[in-house]
């Protein structure tokens, strides 16, 4: 039984590290902010959550803390990705190899006219 739990934890450790490595490789190699966001979401969602599942299986004390942290990471990571993509589009950062822009002319800035004080 202990051997089975340790084998499952070992699988989750290796899988989470592989997802993190793939995400960092995509973060280094992709050409654009928006495509790089697609790669760096893997590190947060799959890598850290798989490591936390392994931590729940291996350490005997931390079941509810681990479940709470999994819930928080799954709640926080997509909203951070959304906020970064929205900030990149509103700041006017160009896309690489663009074919069509569906949001062109439909997005106005939320109440910042005459408020650009620092840049």
Partner 1 sequence: MEKILSLTLWIVLGLHLLMALIVVWRVWRGENSVSRLMGLDLTSTLTLAVLVIISMIQQNSIYIDVAIALAALSYISTVAIAKFISDYRVF
Tokens of 57: 């299986």
Residue pair 46/60 in contact (Cβ under 8 Å)? The answer is no
| Interacting residues of 77 by C-beta distance below 8 A, sequence separation 6+ | 41, 44, 45
The one among 1, 8, 10, 99 contacting partner 1 by CB under 8 A? 10
Tokens of 8: 């499952």
Unique residue bearing structure tokens 């069509």 = 100
Tell me if 9 contacts partner 1 by CB under 8 A.
yes
Site residues for partner 1, 16-75, by CB under 8 A, read 16-17, 20-21, 24, 27-28, 33, 36-37, 40, 43-44, 47-48, 51-52, 54-55, 58-62, 65-66, 68-69, 72-73
Q: What mask, x for binding partner 1 by CB under 8 A, covers residues 68 to 87? A: xx--xx--xx-xx--xx-xx
Cβ proximity to partner 1, 98 vs 115, nearer residue: 115
Residue pair 85/103 in contact (Cβ under 8 Å)? The answer is no
CB of 100 to partner 1, least distance (A): 21
């Amino acid at each position: 039984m202990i051997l089975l739990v340790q084998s499952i934890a070992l699988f989750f450790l290796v899988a989470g590290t592989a997802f993190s490595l793939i995400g960092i490789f995509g973060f280094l190699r992709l050409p654009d902010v928006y495509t790089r966001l697609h790669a760096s979401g893997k590190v947060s969602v799959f890598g850290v959550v798989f490591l936390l599942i392994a931590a729940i299986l291996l350490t005997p004390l931390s079941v509810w803390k681990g479940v709470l942290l999994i819930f928080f990471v799954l709640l926080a990571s997509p909203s951070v990705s959304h906020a970064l993509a929205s900030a990149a589009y509103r700041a006017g950062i160009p896309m690489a190899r663009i074919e069509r822009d569906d949001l062109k002319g439909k997005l106005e800035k939320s109440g910042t006219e005459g408020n650009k004080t620092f840049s």
